[in-house]
Amino acid sequence: MSSYKFKGHEIQGAGLGLRSSHYQEIFDTKPDVPWFELLSDNYMSDGGLPIIRAEKIREDYPVTLHGVGMSLGSTDPLNTDYLSKLKALTDRIEPTYVSDHIAWVSVGGKYTHDLLPLPYTEETLHHISDRISQVQEFLGRKILVENPSSYMTFDSTDMTEAEFIKGITQRTDCDLLLDINNIYVSAVNHDFDPYEYLKGIPSDRVKEIHLAGYEKMDNYLFDTHGYQVHPPVWDLYRAALKQFGAIPTLIEWDTDVPSFTTLRQEAKKAEQQLKAFS
Amino acid sequence: MNLKEWQEAFYKGIFDPTQENIQHACHGVNGTENLSSEDRLGIYRGSILGGITSGLTGIFPVCEKLVGEQYFTQMVSGYLKQYPSGSPDLGNYGEHLPAYISEFEPAKELVYLPDVAQLEWLWHTAFNATDINELSSLPFRPVSELAAIQPEDQALIQFCLNPSASLMQSNFPVHQIWGVNQEDFEGEQTVNLDDGGVNLIVWRSQDFGMRIDVLNDDELKFLTAIQKGKLFADIAGMTFSLPISELLPPYIQMGLIAGFNLGKQ
Ligand SMILES: [Fe+2]
């Protein structure tokens, strides 16, 4: 489908996560948003209303596809049915990037629909890297992998998350989606320095940044994507932009989705930061 | 324990949290003074159940409203144990919730709840069903080609319903219960259960979007025969209070009958 205005378009600036409650407003007002990120797992049914709406969005904006369904860290075989559908979706929507997470989601064919933690060992590094390479081969394109937020670490872990991520990019040639909120959440939960973490990330690999709001619990931070971005995450974001440059940034807001206006205000804040570094 | 064994143990520790399963799941997991490894597993349990529950609330909002959030959450955690999610798309999960609810002891008094759940599931599948404009992926010919069928072949026509359409029967006025519980509903809030049962078709029309239409017994019989793929000759042999020449055209016009195939004698 070569009819899209933004064929192979490089994205820049602060994009928004597309949520179904905002479709109508977007269609009606054609807001000036640099790009939209679609949750790929919601557009897998061939020919239903969701995909028709996605194509309509795509007529006016570049899009990226972001999912949790690859289950890259799982010990199950790769789900080729899912990957086939994802490939069909990418052929149809022509996203700038396709991304998923450094995590596992399913085991024994049963899905938890959540991003679950991995021990950072040589064994896991080989395992997940092999799978990322297979996915890239299947889709015929590079993917971006995202650092998860986590609440658990393991005895067996023998490298930092940043080292693990660097190892993945070396083995698979994939790119990175760096979630600044996730780094901060994990840093607090596991008591490491998030600024040191940033230094370990290979700068030339970072193609997209995520920002979101966590929730402060008694003894940990919980990654709900249901709030505005908190001040320490903005601070860390500035350090990231200083290191990586004005990387396209997305505000994720998945629970208690606010009005489209509120979401755009949050994106404007990121836009201002980006301007300072471009 | 290798990675595969631990992932399996973790899954059990989440969905079947007996003391033994929790211990297995926490194998090799670091605990701290503030958060034990069990606490950490519990955070994941809350996150996973919360995510799936909110996904199901999106598909079954009326059920959730009828039983309340707490009760619904409890129902979902039981459902998950019995019917694990087998697809990466959370939107595919929930097909068996109506069946589960009908077996769910605490919900026995809400006799109409399984049918409300069934109606919501059909609404959800109709919303996501393939659009008839995407004909290349549909296994039938468009009704516009009907005129080209030779008279001797007409008996072999098998009409096809719009791919979004599902039929259902309920012993309760389930469409009214569904209706008064919609967010934008205005009007009389009470539903009289004595109003009795109803036949429904849930589908997505090309012109008017999502629809729930009430059918009389004749219409249900007619559309059920079509759904079962009966030949036109067989349907013509059935008895209806209206002649088929009057029953059929409106369905074609509104797009509920979306196409046809030619069957074998
Ligand atoms: Fe993210």
Tokens 């052929």 appear where? A91
A260 touches chain B (CB under 8 A): no
Amino acid present at B190:
T
Q: What is the pLDDT of residues B83-101, one digit of tens each?
A: 999 999 999 999 999 999 9
Per-block average pLDDT, block size 10, for chain A (278 residues)? Answer: 64 92 90 95 81 91 96 98 95 96 98 97 97 98 97 96 98 98 97 97 97 94 89 97 97 85 93 92
pLDDT value for B11: 98
Amino acid present at B123:
W
B167 touches chain A (CB under 8 A): no
pLDDT value for A2: 43
pLDDT value for A226: 81
Provide ipTM, 2 decimals.
0.94
Q: How far is the CA of A136 from the centre of ligand 1 (A)?
A: 20
Strand pairing class (A215-216; B257-262): unpaired
φ and ψ of B193, to 5 deg: -60, -25
The tokens describing B191, both together, are 């539903």
Please judge whether B90 and A74 are an interchain contact, meaning their C-beta atoms are less than 8 angstroms apart: no
Quote the CA–CA distance of B258 and B70 in Å, as a whole number. 42
The model scores a pTM over 0.80:
yes
**B184 contact residues in A (CB cutoff 8 A):** none
> Which DSSP string do the residues of A192-259 spell out, in sequence order?
--HHHHHHTS-GGGEEEEEE---EE-SSSEE--S-SPPPHHHHHHHHHHHHHH-S--EEE---SS---
Q: How far is the CA of A30 from the centre of ligand 1 (A)?
A: 25
Going along chain A from its start, the domains and CATH numbers come out as 14-276 (3.20.20.150)
Amino acid present at A10:
E
Q: How far is the CA of A148 from the centre of ligand 1 (A)?
A: 7
Q: What is the pLDDT of residues A176-202, one digit of tens each?
A: 999 999 999 999 999 999 999 999 999
Q: How far is the CA of A66 from the centre of ligand 1 (A)?
A: 9
Q: What is the dihedral of CA B75, B78, B79, B82, to 10 degrees?
A: -160
B8 touches chain A (CB under 8 A): yes
The tokens describing B218, both together, are 């004749």
Whether A219 and A250 have beta carbons less than 8 Å apart is answered as no
CA B156 to chain centre: 31
- Of B7, B30, B127, which is closest to A107 when you measure between CB atoms? B7
Beta partners for residue B128, in sequence order: none
Please judge whether B44 and A152 are an interchain contact, meaning their C-beta atoms are less than 8 angstroms apart: yes
Going along chain B from its start, the domains and CATH numbers come out as 134-265 (3.90.930)
